[in-house]
């Protein structure tokens, strides 16, 4: 998959979430405070969107979880993002409030929609292999998670469609 297509789709999906948030369409946390604390579900929602909209036959999406320890136990940060086709980092929640600290994270590294092959921001995180997983679709998350995620996904898709993003 080409990086241009990933950037386009990721930006479009991020904007759909922003529109839903601005219009108060998310009733529950964490999405009612997007992007804060939304990095757990957002990579899976974005992965589904990429899988549904890529022009190529198949795409591989892996949800990655990492931990950054800034100064011992005082400042520990967890974060999740996507890795597409084992090459591209795709992150649409790096601009969370917890990362807006010049002392810890260079602010030019904290972007609302990042797509690339390497990143100073992401390289700071220690990847937790047991918490990284291949994404096979929202349906494979289990019934309870599927229902919750499908509701979020439908709200976002509706905003993308209505706003002709």
In 31-157, which ranges are E strands? Answer: 61-69, 76-84, 88-91, 114-116, 126-127, 133-134
Question: Kindly report the CA angle at 123 between 122 and 125, in degrees rounded to 5?
Answer: 75
Structural domain range at position 32: 3-162
Is residue 55 within 8 A of residue 46, CB to CB? The reply is no
Is residue 138 within 8 A of residue 146, CB to CB? The reply is yes
Q: How many CB atoms lie within 10 A of CB 97?
A: 10
* Residue ranges of the chain whose pLDDT lies below 70: 72-74, 100, 102-104, 106-109, 165
Structural domains in the chain (count): 1
pTM: 0.90
Quick one: pLDDT at residue 106?
66
Say whether 79 sits in a helix, a strand or coil. strand
CA atoms within 13 A on the CB side of 76: 6
Encode pLDDT of 132-142 as tens digits: 999 999 999 99
Quick one: pLDDT at residue 107?
62
Quick one: pLDDT at residue 160?
96
Q: Considering only CA atoms, give the Rg of the chain.
A: 15
Cα separation, 61 vs 45, in Å, equals 11
Quick one: pLDDT at residue 34?
93
Quick one: pLDDT at residue 129?
83
Quick one: pLDDT at residue 27?
87
Quick one: pLDDT at residue 54?
87
Quick one: pLDDT at residue 109?
63
């Amino acid at each position: 998959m080409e990086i241009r297509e990933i950037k386009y789709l990721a930006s479009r999906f991020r904007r759909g979430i922003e529109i839903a948030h601005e219009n108060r369409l998310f009733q529950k946390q964490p999405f009612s405070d997007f992007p804060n604390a939304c990095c757990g579900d957002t990579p899976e929602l974005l992965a589904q969107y990429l899988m549904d909209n890529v022009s190529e036959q198949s795409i591989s999406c892996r949800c990655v979880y990492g931990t950054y320890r800034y100064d011992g136990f005082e400042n520990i940060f967890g974060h999740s993002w996507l890795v597409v086709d084992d090459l591209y980092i795709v992150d649409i929640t790096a601009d969370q409030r917890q990362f807006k600290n010049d002392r810890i994270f260079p602010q030019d590294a904290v972007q609302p929609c990042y797509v690339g092959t390497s990143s100073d921001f992401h390289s700071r995180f220690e990847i937790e292999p047991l918490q990284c997983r291949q994404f096979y679709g929202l349906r494979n998350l289990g019934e309870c998670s599927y229902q919750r995620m499908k509701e979020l996904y439908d709200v976002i898709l509706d905003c993308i469609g209505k706003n002709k993003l």
